[in-house]
Amino acid sequence: MPRAQLFTSESVSMGHPDKVADQISDAVLDAMLADDPYSRVACETLCCTGLVVVAGEITTKTYVNIPDLVRETIREIGYTSGDMRFDADSAGVLVAINKQSPHIAMGVDRDGAGDQGMMFGYACNETPELMPLPIQLAHRMIEQQAHVRREGTIPGLRPDAKSQVTVEYDHNRPVRVDTLVLSTQHDPMWNERQGDLKKQVIEHILKPVLREWWNPGITVHVNPTGCFEVGGPHGDTGLTGRKIIVDTYGGMGRHGGGAFSGKDPTKVDRSAAYMARYIAKNIVAAGLADRCEVQLSYAIGVAEPTSVLIDCQGTARADEGKISDAVRQLFKLTPRGIIETLKLRNPIYSPTARHGHFGRAPYEGQYYDRVKREHRGGKIEFFGWEKTDKAAELKKLL
């Protein structure tokens, strides 16, 4: 990236219609895994005005009351009033579930990948979380919007929201935040008071998130259309897997062919993308590169990856071929190895469906209490793929 380039990333809130669909799909997955860790789940959700459709291919030994689970998830998100034309109590729920294809199952049963495909992971040293600054700030703005909405700090906010962050880079290093956009759904009370709402958003959402990155010269847009009363699934149809760049690195790193939500860990679309992030993050944490992108690829029914690529984008402090050899030595890259390393048969997925899959610890979501009880001392650590426990070994090998 040459001198004085602007780069932009966006995030969307838990109340965005596509994210509503993602959270429902992952809630179904978690409910299955909670009782049957070997459930095979591929769950898709569509939501629109007054309606949720849950479909997919699921093979499990447990039973889940999906309509009740859907309503619980919608209520947790914050759609609790009929005024929004989509709420937990009145939305209709249709369920169309079949079993997993036996031909796919044959490959998975012998520890092969559940499908072919290529997956990417990315890390960089721009933030303490080793994430690109634009997407990290965009996620935290949305997280803060949810917090002030639930706390009532800004009255009348509703669940749907979007953020966008533009950062100026100088020779690949972030030097200044240039532009911020936050569109937040709201009650009618703000329809004629958008100026007052903007001041509240700057004070309670933007400044607390940006901290040292805040400066008075930032261009700020809050609800640039002038009003955002109609939103959520009433304002736009939501579908699982339609926010894949929000889920990963905001466009800074590449994305493979598949979405994440609603898929159990035998689907390498999800599990191998998590492993690729884990590898990239440990490479950067070891000081072997400032930026690292990892590509893994798989063939259906085959256990070992068909390729492993380490691309440090000109920042490597060791030979990339040797880094790749060390990665193959230290990391288990078969589907079974990934699942065991990252402990992916647990009901951990609902929190990932909001505020990004990477660069964060679990959000206090639907299965937080259960997972918390299973950890020593009642503490929740970062997701397994966010740990840097292999950095010292990588550094030693190289």
Q: Which residues contact 245 (CB under 8 A, 6 or more apart)?
A: 9, 10, 251, 255
Rounded alpha-carbon distances, angstroms, from residue 33 to 36, 116, 349, 365: 5, 23, 10, 16
pLDDT digits (tens, 9 = 90+) for 219-239: 999 999 999 999 999 999 999
- Please give the average per-residue pLDDT across 61-70, as a whole number: 96
- Please give the average per-residue pLDDT across 353-372, as a whole number: 65
Q: Are 162 and 10 in contact (CB under 8 A)?
A: yes
Measured CA angle at 256 (ends 324, 48), to 5 deg: 150
Top-confidence residue, 4 or 19: 19
pLDDT digits (tens, 9 = 90+) for 235-288: 999 999 999 999 999 999 999 879 999 999 999 999 999 999 999 999 999 999
Position 258, amino acid: G
Per-residue pLDDT band for 361 (boundaries 50, 70, 90) equals confident
Per-residue pLDDT band for 97 (boundaries 50, 70, 90) equals very high
- Please give the average per-residue pLDDT across 106-135, as a whole number: 88
Q: Indicate the average pLDDT of the chain.
A: 92
Q: Which residues contact 78 (CB under 8 A, 6 or more apart)?
A: 14, 15, 149, 150, 158, 159
Question: Does residue 118 surpass a pLDDT of 90?
Answer: yes
Q: Which of the residue ranges 32-46, 64-78, 361-375, 383-397 would you say has the lowest mean pLDDT?
A: 361-375
Q: Angle of helix 335-342 relative to helix 268-285, nearest 10 degrees? A: 60
Continuous segment of H or E residues that includes residue 329:
helix 320-330
User: Which is it for strands 157-170 and 238-239: parallel, antiparallel or unpaired?
Assistant: unpaired
Per-residue pLDDT band for 205 (boundaries 50, 70, 90) equals very high
Strand-pair partners of 294: 121, 310
Note the pTM of the prediction, 2 decimals.
0.93
pLDDT of residue 377: 46
